[in-house]
Structure 1
Amino acid sequence: EATNETGPLEQLMFVDVASMAPLGAHYKLLVTEIKHFQLQTNVAFHFTASPSQPQYFLYKFPEDVDSVIIKVESEMAYPCSVVSVQNVMCPVYDLDDNVEFNGVYQSMTKKAAITLQVRHYFSGHHSLLCILCRKKPSTVCLLFLFGIQMFLYLSDLSRKDRRIISKKYKIYFWNIITIAVFYVLPVIQLVITYQTVVHVTGNQDICYYNFLCAHPLGSLSAFNNILSNLGHVLLGFLFLLIVLHRDILHRRALEAKDIFAMEYGIPKHFGLFYAMGIALMMEGVLSACYHVCPNYSNFQFDTSFMYMIAGLCMLKLYQTRHPDINASAYAAYASFAGVITVTVLGVVCGKNETWFWVIFSAIHILASLALSTQIYYMGRFKIGDNVCGILFGVFRPPFQDRMVLLIMGNLVNWFFAFFGLIYRPRDFASYMLGIFICNLLLYLAFYIIMKLRSNERVLPIPSVCIVATAVVWAAALYFFFQNLSSWEGTPAESREKNRRCILFDFFDDHDIWHFLSATALFFSFLVLLTLDDDLDMVQRDKIRVF
C-alpha cells in the first residue's frame, strides 16, 4: 500500500527488448502486484525468491523506533547466502566481489540477523528490501538486500511544530535590531568626531573624499555621498512591506485551515526575510556613516552588514529545504561576530604577517570542506563508525551532480585562499567581502541547478528578478571599479583619481554605485522570496531536499 512518504505514486518505466531475429518477435510482459510489499514491524511472512525472480519489499520505521533487527530464516541451508544492508543506488552491489563495498552484510546458511539503526542512514524513515538469488554451478545463492531511500523529501525535514519554528526564526529579526542599535550609535559618534576634527584643524587629508564632486550641507563635507545611500533604506523598507504582506496572507490561510498552506509547498517562515530587510536598511545607514569621513580606520563600517546580508541570504537558501535543522539565530550571529573579528585582525595584522595568512587560509579551506560536507549529506552527516563507507563514497559518490557542483565551489574557495596567501591584499575587508559574495552566488547557482535537476520550474516573476539582478549587478560593479578615491595610498595620490559629477551635477560614479547596488540587493532578495513559488501546489512529500 503506497503512502505519502513513499514519494510519487506514478512513475514512468521503460522496457527495452532486443532480438537478433530477422523478423518481428512477439513477447508478453506480465506485471503482478507484490504481496506484503510494505513490511510491518513484528509481522512475519513467507516468501520465495529464485535466480530469475528477485523480490522487493518496503519497510517504514515508526517514528518512536530507533533500531530494528532484521531476521531471515530458511528451512534449507544455502552455503552462499548473503544478507546485506546498503543504500539504494545504481548499480546495486549484489556480487560476491563488491557486496562488501557498501553498507553491512552477513553470510548465511539458515539464519541471519542484522541490527539496523536509523541514524546510520540518510532518510532515517524508509527502507527498501530486495531479495535476489543467484545460481552457480553447484549451489543456489540467496542475497538479501536491505536498502535506504537515497532522496530526502521536504516532509522528512518539516516535522516540527510550525509555531515553534516560526518563533525560532523571528529571533533573527529581533536580534539584528539589537545588534544594529549597539553597532550604529558608537559609529555615528565616531564619524561625527572625525568630521569635527576636520573642521577644527582644517586638515583635508584626514578624509578621502572625491573633492571634485563633494557637495557640503551643514557640517557634512560630502552630503551627496551620504544622500545616495538613502536607496538602501527605502528599498529595505519596501522589502519589509512585501514580506509583511505575504506573512499576513499566509497567516490568514493558516487560520482558515487551508490545506495548501499547511501541507503543500515550502513551509513559510518569514523571520529571516525580515532580518534581511533590516540588514539592507542598516547597510545604507552604515555606508552613509562611512562616507561622512571615508578613510582606512572606518572602512569596516561600510562592509560589516554586507557580511550579514550575504550570510543571511545563504542561511535562507539552506533553511528553505531544511526548515527543521537550520542554525539558531544565536549561533548564526555569533558566527558573524567571528567573521568581523577575523576581519579586524586582517585589517590590523594582514599586511605583512605571514602567520596570519597561513592560519586564515587553513581555516578557510577547512571551513569550505565542512560546509560542503554538510550540504552534500543534506544536513544529516555525522562522524560515526562507518569511516570506510564514507571514504568509499568519496571515490564513488551516490550524488554525482551534487558532488560536481560542490567540487567547483571548493576550487573557487581554494583559489581565494591561495590568492590571499600569495598576494596578501591590503584591503582585507573587501577581500573578505568578495569571499562571502562569491560563496553566496555559488550557493544560489547550486540551488537553481539542483531545482531544475529535480524537475521543478522557475516561474516568470523570479525569472525576471534573476535577469534584473544580473543586469543591475553588472552595471553597479562597473561604477564601483571607477576608483574615484583610495585610502590605500596617500591623500595626494587619492586626489589624483578624483572626477567631476556625472549625474545632475551632484552625484558621482560612486553615488551611482550606491543607487544600483541597493537596487541589485533588492532584486536579489526578491529572487529568494519568490524562487519556490512554483511549489505552492506541490505536496511536501514530493519536494526534494538538496
Structure 2
Amino acid sequence: MLTYKPLNQAQLLLRNRKEMVLRSCCKFGPVLVWFRLGYVVLLWLCVTHLRCARAETKTVVQKDAEFDVTYNDTVTSDNQTIYAFNHTVSRNKTEGVRVTVDVLSEGAESSPILFVVRQKQAVLSFQVPLILRGLYQRKYPYAHVGRTLCQPPTRSLTETQYFFVDVSTLSSLGTHYQLRISRVDSFTLHTDKKFSFTASPSQPQYFKYVFPDGVDTVIVKVNSEMTFPCSVMSIQDIQCPVYDLDNNVAFIGMYQTMTKTAAITVQRKDFPSNSFYVVVVVKTEDEACGGPLRFYPLRPDELIDAGNRSKTLDVVVSPAISSDVYVMGMLFCLGIFLSFYLLTFLVACVENKRSVYRSTHSLMLFLSGIVSTVDNGSTLSSEAITDSIFLFPLSLALFHFLSERSLESVAGRSRQESLSSIEEDDYDTLADIDSDKNIVRTKKYLCVSDLARKDKRVLSKKYQIYFCVLMLTCSGLLQVVNVTGNQDICYYNFLCAHPLGNLSAFNNILSNLGYVMLGLLFLLIVLQRDIIHSRALDRNDLNALECGIPKHFGLFYAMGTALMMEGLLSACYHVCPNYTNFQFDTSFMYMIAGLCVLKLYQKRHPDINASAYTAYACLAAVIFFSVLGVVFGKGNMVFWIVFSVLHILATMLLSTQLYYMGRWRLDSGILRRIVYVIYTDCIRQCSGPMYIDRMVLLVMGNIVNWSLAAYGLLKTPNDFASYLLAIAICNLLLYFAFYIIMKLRSGERIQCMAMVCILFTAVVWGFALFFFFQGLSTWQKTPAESREHNRDCIVLSFFDDHDIWHFLSSIAMFGSFLVLLTMDDDLDNVQRDKIFVF
C-alpha cells in the first residue's frame, strides 16, 4: 500500500527549480544541442592531439661521423638519425664536400627519405628517391643522389666548421640507405688545366674558379664526346644555395644548354668576390637540345625510368685576349677600309692628271690648227705652244670655251646629218608621234631618248625621294631595335665572342664598320659625280644634255645610305643574334637588292621607272612577309601556299608591266584582252613576240621565280628570311647578266675601270660566300646544336669566319655599286637616240 508523504519546504523548492530548467531546455533546445555537439568535437580534437603527440615521440640518435666512411643504416617513422661532421677549412685552400646517398629498399617512392644538411650559413635538403620533372610534368625517380655542399667563405686563416646530416622519413616500414661524405680535392679549377668528371641529373657537379692576378676575363669551355644526354653549363656567383638541379639551374647567373660543347666568357667585374662557380647539370630530357620527344606516361602520376643518363665532360678555363688584341683588331679593321679611301684618292688624282693631259694635248692641237691657218702663214713650235699654255692659264679657259662651242656645232651637225639620213618612210609623220607615249613606247626598237622625255628637274626630284624616304625608314627601324636575353637566346660563336662593356660579341659588331665606311665613301663618289654633272648642266654642256645615259643620282644616294644602314642594323642584330631580330639584318639587304634592280632598269627607262612610294611600298610588303614567315612560316603549309600563289601572281604582273612598258590596264576587261591576244597572235596567225629580247628575259625570270616558288612549297625551309633574300638576289643577278649581255650585243663596250670593278667584285663575292657558308651558328637549330658549329678565331685571335664575311661582303657590295655607277661610262659621248633600250 502506497502512502503519500507530503514534501517539506526544501524539497518543494528543489522541484520547482527542476521544472524551470526543463522549461528552459524545451525553449532553447536547438541551442543546447549545438552547444553539446561543439563540446564533443572539442573533446575529440583534444584526444586526437594527445594521441598524435604520443605517436610523434620518436627516438633521435646522433652519431659522430667521419669522412670517406660509408654508413649503412635503416630509418623509420619512429627514429631519426643525425650524423655530425667537422672539418678544418683553410682560407688559402678550398676543398669541396660531397654527399652521396643510395636508397637500397624497394618501393621507397611512396615514402621517400628526407636528408637535411645543416651548415653554418646554409641548409641543403633533398629527398631520396629524388623526383625530377621533365616536359609535360613527367616524373623521373633517382635512387642514387650526389650533391656538393656549398662552401661559405671564411675570414680566419683556419677554422673548424661543423655540419649535420639529418635523416628521417614518415614511412612506418624500415628503409635501408647508404650515406657517404667525402672530400673533393679537385674542387678548385686551375687556369689552362683540363679536368674530367662525370655528371647525371641526380648527381650534378660544380667547381670553383678564382681569378688569378692580372687576368680580368676568362673563357670557360665545357666539352664532351657524347652528344646526348642534354646538359646545362651555368656560371654562378659564390653564394649559398647553389642552384644545381635541372629545375632551378636557370634561376641565376648565365647558362647554356649543350650537347658537345659550351663556352661562356666571364669578366672579373661581374663577380665582386673575384671567383665564381662552374655548374654542370645533366637534364632529365633531351628536347632542349633537339633530341627526340619521349613517350607520354599512361597515368599522370606514373614514374618513368630515366635509364642511364651519365655523361663524361671536360672543363677548362682559359684567359681571354688582352686589351692589346682589342686595339690591334680595331686598327686592322680601320686600316682595311681607310685604304679604300686612299686608293680612291689616288685613282682620282690619276684620272685628274690624265684629264689635264688630254685637255693640254687637245689645246695644243687646237692652237696648232689656229696657227696653221693664219693669213701670213707663220707657224709656232710645239714647245712655244706648251710654254704659252703653262705661262698663261687664261688660255686654258679660252680653250674650254672654244672647245665647247665647237663641240656644240659639231654635235649639232652630226645630229642633223643623222636625222637627214633617215628616210621619211621609216617613221610615222603624225603630229602626235613625238608626244603620245602610248605610240612611242610601243615601237619595236626603242632608244633611250624615247624614254627620257620628261623634264630633268622633275625626274631629279622624283629620284631624290628615294633617299628621303629611306632616311625616314632608317630612323623608324633604329627606334625599335632593342633585344635582350640570356646566353641561350643569343646565337653567338661563343668560342670567338669577345665582350666589351655590355656587348657580348664586340668583334661581330666591329666588323660591320666596313658597311658604314664604304657606304659613306660611295656617297662621296656619287656626290663628286653629281657636282660635276650639275656644273656641266649649268654651262649647257651638250654632252650632259643630250648624250649618254641620263644621270639621276637619287637612287645612288639611296643605295649608299642603305649600305650604311645595313652595317648599323647588322650590328644591332649581332648584339644578340636570333630568329626574332633577324629581319633587322635582312631588311636593308632586301632594300639594297631592290634598289640595284631599280637602278639597272632606270638606266634605260628613266621616264617609266617606279616611283619611290611604289618601290618602298613593295619593299615594305616584302619585309612584312619576312616577319610573317619567321613567325608563322615554320611548318605552316597554309602560309606557304598563300605566299607561293602571291609570288607567282606578282611575277606575272611584273612581267606584263615590263613587256608592255607600263601601257596596259588592270581592269575588268583584262581577261577579254588576254584571250583576244592569245587568239590573234598564237592561234590565228601564230606570230612570234614583237619584243624578242624582253620576252627572253621575262621567260627566264618566270622560270626562275616559279622554280623558287615550287621549292618553297615543297621543302618549306625553316629560314624564310634567307629564302626570301635568295629570291631577291637571283632576280638581281638574272637582270644584271641580261643587262651585260644586251649591252655587248648592242655594240657597246665596257671600259677598263668598269671591267676591273666587275672582275674584282666577282672574286671578292666568291671568297665572301665561302666564309658565309661556314655556318658558325644557326638559329634554325636549338642553341645547343648551334654551338656544335662554333669555331675559334682565325684572324689576330679576334675575328672569326663570320667577321671575314662582313669584311668581304661590304667590299663586294661597294664594288657592285661602283659597277652600276661606271658600267655605262662608255656612252657619255653617244647621243641618246643611238642608245638602245633593253
TM range (shorter): 0.7 to 0.9
- Per-residue CA deviation, residues 185-228 of structure 1 (Å, 9 max, x unaligned), is 221xx13xx1xx43xxxxx2121110100111111110000000
Name the counterpart of 2:758. Answer: 466
Q: Which residue of 2 aligns with 1:366?
A: 649
After TM superposition, the structure 1 = structure 2 runs for residues 69-468 of structure 1, keeping only pairs within 5 Å, are: 121=439, 123=441, 149-187=443-481, 190-191=482-483, 194=484, 197-198=485-486, 204-382=487-665, 387=674, 388-389=676-677, 392-393=680-681, 396-468=688-760
Q: What SS does the corresponding residue of 1:482 show, helix, strand or coil?
A: coil
Aligned amino acid, residue 225 of structure 1? N
Cα offset, 1:7, TM superposition: 7.5
Deviation track 1:419-449 (CA, whole Å, cap 9, x = no partner) reads 0000100110000001001111111111111
Q: How much is the aligned-residue C-alpha RMSD, in angstroms?
A: 2.4
Are residues 401 and 123 of structure 1, via their aligned partners in 2, closer, same or farther at CA, if it must alter by over 3 Å? closer
Match of 2:826 in 1: 534
Assess, with a 3 A threshold, how the Cα gap between structure 1 residues 268 and 470 changes in structure 2: closer, same or farther.
same
- 1:391–1:444 distance in 2 versus 1, CA, 3 Å: farther
Instruction: Find the aligned partners of 1:441 and 1:545 in 2 and give their Cα distance.
Output: 19
Aligned equivalent of 1:479: 771
Q: 1:522 corresponds to which residue?
A: 814
Task: Tell me which amino acid in the other structure corresponds to 1:308.
Answer: M
Count of equivalent residues: 417
The alpha carbon displacement at 1:381 in A equals 4.4
Residues 5-27 of structure 1, C-alpha deviations (whole Å, 9 max, x = no match): 9978779xxxxxxxxxxxxxxxx
Structure 1 residue 334, shift from structure 2 partner:
1.1
Query: What is the deviation of 1:151?
Result: 0.6
Cα drift, residue 473 of structure 1: 0.9
Contact 1:123 1:151 in 2 (8 A): no
State the SS of the aligned residue for 1:303.
Answer: helix
Matching residue's letter, 2:629? G
Closer/same/farther in 2, CA of residues 392 and 240 from structure 1, 3 Å limit: farther
Aligned-pair CA distance for 1:375 = 2.6
Whole-angstrom distance in 2 between the partners of 1:467 and 1:60: 47
CA contact (8 A) 2:597 2:732 kept: yes
Shift of residue 157 of structure 1? Answer: 1.1
- The alpha carbon displacement at 1:370 in A equals 2.1
Letter in 1 for 2:764: V
SS in 1 for 2:577: coil
Larger Rg: 2
Query: Matches of 2:444 and 2:723 in 1, distance apart?
Result: 39
The percent of aligned pairs where both chains have the same amino acid is 63
Deviation at 1:247, TM superposition (A): 0.2
Is the contact between residue 580 and residue 630 of structure 2 (CA under 8 Å) also seen in structure 1?
no
Deviation string 1:124-181 (CA, Å, 9 cap, x unpaired) is: 6xxxxxxxxxxxxxxxxxxxxxxxx411111111111111110111111111111101
1:13-92 superposed matches below 5 A: 38=424, 56=425, 58-63=427-432
- Cα distance between partner residues in 1 of 2:766 and 2:465: 34
**C-alpha deviations, 1:83-109, integer Å up to 9, x for none?**
xxxxxxxxxxxxxxxxxxxxxxxxxxx
**Cα deviation digits, residues 48-103 of structure 1 (max 9, x gap):** xxxxxxxx56423324898xxxxxxxxxxxxxxxxxxxxxxxxxxxxxxxxxxxxx
Report the Cα distance in structure 1 between the residues aligned to 2:449 and 2:457, rounded to whole angstroms: 16
Match of 1:500 among 789, 792, 795: 792
The answer for the alignment partner of 1:97 in structure 2 is none
How far residue 522 of structure 1 moved from its aligned partner, in angstroms, is: 0.4
Report if aligned partners of 2:793, 2:800 keep a CA contact under 8 Å in 1.
yes
CA 1:352 to 1:216, structure 2 compared with 1: closer, same or farther past 3 Å? same
SS in structure 2 of the partner of residue 60 of structure 1: coil
What does the per-residue CA deviation read over 1:467-506, in whole Å, with 9 as the maximum and x for residues that have no partner?
1121111111110010111111111111111000001110
Q: Compute the displacement of 1:365 (Å).
A: 1.3
Query: Aligned equivalents of 2:763 and 2:644: distance in 1?
Result: 32
Q: Which residue of 1 aligns with 2:351?
A: none
Counterpart contact for 1:8–1:542, Cα < 8 Å? no
Deviations 1:509-544 (A, max 9, x none): 000000011011001101111111111011111111
Letter in 2 for 1:486: T
Which stretch shows the higher mean deviation, 261-270 or 380-389?
380-389
TM-score norm. by structure 1 comes to: 0.72
- Asked whether the equivalents of residues 122 and 380 of structure 1 are also in contact (C-alpha less than 8 Å), the reply is no
SS in 2 for 1:351: coil
- Which residue, out of 476, 485, 489, partners 2:781? 489
SS at match of 1:344: helix
Aligned residue type for 1:545: V
Whole-angstrom distance in 2 between the partners of 1:526 and 1:232: 14
Distance 2:836 2:433 in 1: 24
Task: State how far apart, in whole Å, the 1-side matches of 2:445 and 2:469 are.
Answer: 35
Which has the higher relative contact order, 1 or 2, with Cα contacts under 8 A spaced 6 or more apart?
1
Indicate the structure with greater strand content: 2
Q: Cα distance, 1:120 vs. partner? A: 6.1
TM-score by length of 2: 0.48
Distance 1:8 1:343, change over 3 A: farther
- Pick which of 357-366 and 273-282 moved more: 357-366
The answer to which of 387-396 and 423-432 deviates more is 387-396
Q: Give the corresponding residue for 1:22.
A: none
Letter in 2 for 1:61: L
**Separation in 2, partners of 1:169, 1:3:** 32
The alpha-carbon deviation at position 380 of structure 1 amounts to 3.8
Does the residue aligned with 1:274 lie in a helix, a strand or coil?
Answer: helix
Partner of 2:43: none
Structure 1 range deviating more: 494-503 or 447-456: 447-456
- Residues 299-332 of structure 1, C-alpha deviation per residue, up to 9 Å, x if partnerless? 1111001000000111111111111111111111
Does structure 2 conserve the Cα–Cα contact (< 8 Å) formed by 1:7 and 1:542?
A: no
Q: CA deviation at 1:392?
A: 5.0
CA contact (8 A) 2:750 2:823 kept: yes
The equivalent of 1:94 in structure 2 is none
Tell me the distance in 2 between the aligned counterparts of 1:468 and 1:392: 49
Closer, same or farther in 2 for the Cα pair 1:120/1:255, shift >3 Å?
closer
